[in-house]
Amino acid sequence: MRVLVVYAHPLETSYLSAVHARVVETLRARGREVDDLDLYKEEFDPVLSPEQMRNYVDVRKNACEVRAYVDRLRAADALVLVFPVWFDGLPAIMQGYFQRVFLPGVATIIDENGLFHRNLANLKRLAAVCAYGEIRADVAKKRDPPRRFVRGNIGALIEPSGQFEYLAIYGMDFSTAPRRAAFLRRVTRAFNAW
């Protein structure tokens, strides 16, 4: 199984950096081929250019600027997203990744009636691993926008029978070392099952 891990955090010293490292090392220890895409380290440009916007639905041209990222996505059997939740959403760089790479002809196909249909049947598994500053009860009051985005927008594009996992640590603003260690063990168990 080839797993594309897409990671978005600017600080190598963050707790999420340790989580990201654990995901990658656990998958590799299980014999999985890991394509580790660190959006900040690779200096991914999240800005949709005027040219890409003009060509957005033209499947012959729309991926020209991001071809290497499209190829990595198409080569994967599974996708793992590792990110912090900021302002009730994903980091801008990860949102830009979806907007620039999950294009018509890549993540979707457009039929003769102009309707969009899923096109990432190569992805049999999808997981998100994330950290929230807020406690779970407060996030639940808002219906957890990041979880809904990942499940409803990205999950809707993968193989229909594909598996979905969402591993989140809530209340990072008040987190203790034992709680963070417990979450790392949870991450390890989850990816040991892959």
Domains and CATH numbers, the chain: 2-192 (3.40.50.360)
pLDDT at site 15: 97
What region does 90 belong to: left with phi over 0, alpha with psi -120 to 50, or beta? beta
pLDDT tens sequence across 25-44: 999 999 999 999 999 999 99
**Position of tokens 């417990």?**
182
Query: pLDDT grade, residue 143 (50/70/90)?
Result: very high
Of the candidate ranges 98-102, 171-175, 179-183, the one whose mean pLDDT is the lowest: 171-175
Per-residue buried b or exposed e for 80-100, using 16+ beta carbons within 10 Å of the residue's own CB: bbbbbbeeeebbebbebbbeb
Task: Output the six-digit token pair for 56.
Answer: 């957005």
Q: What is the average per-residue pLDDT within 150-167?
A: 96
159, 163, 156: which is closest to 125 by C-alpha?
A: 163
pLDDT at site 49: 93
Inform me whether the pLDDT recorded for 194 exceeds 90. Answer: yes
pLDDT tens sequence across 118-141: 999 999 999 999 999 999 999 999
The reported pTM is 0.96
Inform me whether the pLDDT recorded for 114 exceeds 90. Answer: no
> How far is the C-alpha of 173 from the C-alpha of 32, rounded, in Å?
33
Query: pLDDT grade, residue 64 (50/70/90)?
Result: very high
